[in-house]
Amino acid sequence: MSNPGGTSRGNLWPEMVHNMRFPAPESPRGDMKTSFDRYLLYEELTQTLNALAEKHPALCRVESVGRSVEGREIWLTELTNTQTGPASEKPAFWVDGNTHAGEVTGSMAALYLIENLLEGYGHDDVVTRLLDEQTFYVLPRLSPDGAEYYLTTPHTLRSNPRPWPEPEPEPGLQPGDIDGDGHALQMRVEDPNGEWRISEGDERLMVPRAPDEAEPGATYYRLYKEGVFENYDGFEKKIARPFHGLDMNRQYPYRWREDADQGGAGPYPLSEPESRAHVDALLARRNVFSIHSHHTFCGAILRPYSDRDDKEMPDHDLAVYKAIGDRGTDLTGYPNISVYHDFRYEEKKFITGAFDDWAFDYYGVFAFTVEFWSLPQAAGVEVKDFINFFRDPPEEASLKMLAWNDRELGGSGFSPWTPFDHPQLGRVEVGGWKTKFTHQNPPPKFLEAECEKLARFALAHASTAPHLEVELRTEELSPGVRRLELRVENTGYLPTNVTRLAADKKLVKPVKAVLRLPEGASLVSGEPEVDLGHLAGRSALVGGGWKGPAFFQGLPSDHAEHYVWVVRGEGPVEVEVRGEKAGTVRLDGKAEGTRS
């Protein structure tokens, strides 16, 4: 590092880029199944997606929905059995990953879901039915630049590697790898006034000094992130804001607040090409009914709102969020919680501009932020109060996590404190958790189990789609005059409007039936295009805000609707029933009867 005490300009730490050793990309894959015991770089991910599309042309298509800041294509995978109808005419489940650069588990889990859908088709009944009747849109890596930077350098960053909020590093501590071991860890510096001491339970662990603690002869420490101080004056130790501080999950157009009010929000909503591509891709696919957005870490199934009490959510939507989220808990062991009530980073502050809130409130679907992986849980620690736990883990829990590291990783997840002559601070010790693949993402050997667990939740949630079944009953009234009765039923769990909010805000079109007559025929009664309104799903049972016992009075048949046409003239008619999020069903008249 040249002139570490002075002000450096331009790319910070350029010499450290590509310093971190990761397995070299393999030669282009053939029929090999991905082994989920490592994290793929962008080129490998691209090759894998293309190879899967090539291998399963009737089920899988890959397209780019935009380009990142550095010009990488943002891949979206479309999965459905195209022989049973085009993707756009089926209810669709959307999965995305890696909005946050370092949360690379999200993209691997998305890839895992893609592979398992494709490999399971024709073997697994649930997968086969889902791909026949529905569509999956899977966008594995929304921040391809950020993920690449995270995977190939010692640095961590929140989203993309565009400098924000300032174009140059701010004065103060800029984290990085000063000792050249490939990791940006922590520094501890002896200081009699320090806030930290060494734990009596494990000499690697630093614990806060008690309020009244002043033991004669004891050694106390200051703790810093490993790095150098930009523009250091030899005395004042400032902590700079992150150089790459943009947080895409604060810049969706849901009650967006400016950066001064909420750090990371960026200059304006969707200012980044990646977040913009995300929203544009969804707006171009109105058949999406539900979303899982993959993040790490802490092991939780998060739901809206981030900024409002549950009471402000329509009864139906809150009940359904709880019902589906609780299924997720059954399948994963991760709690289903409201961000506002149980996941506030700061007690007195709430976040806005988050993707799941936008997806629920403006796009009109059920969206969960799935936070993968919990090291504490893996280590046998029970975490109740998430945010406080991760801000200030109890000593006992930290000891258990270190013991887990020794047991499961041979100690490799924690770098022992090692003396180092810091160019500004003098003698320090560098060490601490290698957080990238211990805390933030599962160590590679735990990755596949994590992907598998959350894929089960995705399939369960996908199975709640609204689903139309259509029947046309024909009766001859007199020679050449027919009575046609169309019966439409939603046999899915979710209503055709999906959320109550979407119906109230008219974010989703009502179910529509269209009759097309043969040459020479005419309508005696009825309209050729009919608005059937929305059809309830089985969620109506909980959606009234009250679920009665089995002997309650029952629900009206709001899940079904019918319509009668009287037609004069011979020849087959065509009927098309369209639900924006429930799919399109066509009866071609020659085979009048039931179709779904």
Q: Which is nearer to Zn ion, 77 or 369 (CB)?
A: 369
Least Å distance between CB 59 and Zn ion?
30
Residue 231 CB, shortest distance to Zn ion, in Å, is 31
Contact yes or no for 62/75 (Cβ under 8 A): yes
Report DSSP letters for 544-555, one per residue: TS----TTS---
Options 3-11, 100-108, 331-339, 573-581: segment touching Zn ion (CB under 5 A) = 100-108
Minimum CB separation of residue 254 from Zn ion in Å reads 16
Give the nearest distance from C-beta 220 to Zn ion in angstroms: 34
Residue 100 in the binding site for Zn ion (CB under 5 A): yes
Binding pattern for the stretch 101-130 against Zn ion, x by CB under 5 A and - elsewhere: --x---------------------------
Q: How far apart are CA 410 and CA 406, in angstroms?
A: 5
Nearest to 528 by CA among 565, 562, 568, 497: 565
CA dist 93 and 303 (Å) reads 16
Q: Cβ of residue 505: shortest distance to Zn ion, in angstroms? A: 27
Q: Which of 591, 561, 559, 587 is nearest to 574 (CA)?
A: 587
What are the strands of the beta sheet with 300-303, ordered from one edge? 60-67, 73-79, 135-139, 92-97, 288-296, 366-372, 300-303, 336-338
Residue number, 159 or 490, with CB nearest to Zn ion = 159
- Alpha-carbon distance of 415 to 184, in angstroms, equals 11
Residue closer to Zn ion by CB (options 97, 589) is 97
Return d(Cα 196, Cα 401) in angstroms, integer. Answer: 19
Shortest gap between Cβ of 293 and Zn ion (angstroms)? 8
Task: Give the whole-angstrom CA distance, residue 171 versus residue 190.
Answer: 23
Q: Are 329 and 301 in contact (CB under 8 A)?
A: yes
Question: Facing residues of 230 across strands?
Answer: 172
Looking at the Cβ atoms of 100 and 327, the one nearer to Zn ion is 100
Shortest reach from residue 95's CB to Zn ion, in Å: 15
C-alpha–C-alpha distance, residues 226 and 432, integer Å? 10
282-301 footprint of Zn ion as x/- string (CB under 5 A) = -------------x------
Choose one: 96-104, 177-185, 257-265, 434-442; the region binding Zn ion (CB under 5 A).
96-104
> Which residue blocks in 379-477 are alpha helix, DSSP H?
386-391, 395-409, 444-462
Size of the site for Zn ion (CB under 5 A): 3
The least distance separating Zn ion from the CB of residue 472, rounded to whole angstroms, comes to 48
d(C-alpha 258, C-alpha 507), whole Å:
27
Selected range binding Zn ion among 47-55, 71-79, 93-101, 409-417, rule: CB under 5 A: 93-101
DSSP β-ladder status, 221-225 and 186-190:
antiparallel
Binding mask 31-50 for Zn ion (x = CB under 5 A): --------------------
Distance CA 441, CA 263 (A): 24
Q: Report in angstroms how near the CB of residue 20 gets to Zn ion at its nearest.
A: 21
Considering only the stretches 97-105, 427-435, 497-505, 564-572, report the one whose residues sit in contact with Zn ion under the rule CB under 5 A: 97-105
Nearest residue to Zn ion by CB is 295
CB of 305 to Zn ion, least distance (A): 17
**CA 49 to CA 57: how far, in whole Å?**
12
Q: Which is nearer to Zn ion, 103 or 259 (CB)?
A: 103
Tell me the window of 9-17, 94-102, 503-511, 563-571 that interacts with Zn ion (CB under 5 A). Answer: 94-102
Give the span between the Cα atoms of 250 and 349, in whole angstroms. Answer: 13
89 or 371: CB nearest Zn ion: 371
- Decide if residue 250 touches Zn ion (CB under 5 A): no
Does 436 bind Zn ion (CB under 5 A)? Our answer is no
Using the minimum distance from each CB to Zn ion, give the nearer residue, 97 or 413: 97
- Chain contacts with Zn ion (rule: CB under 5 A): 100, 103, 295
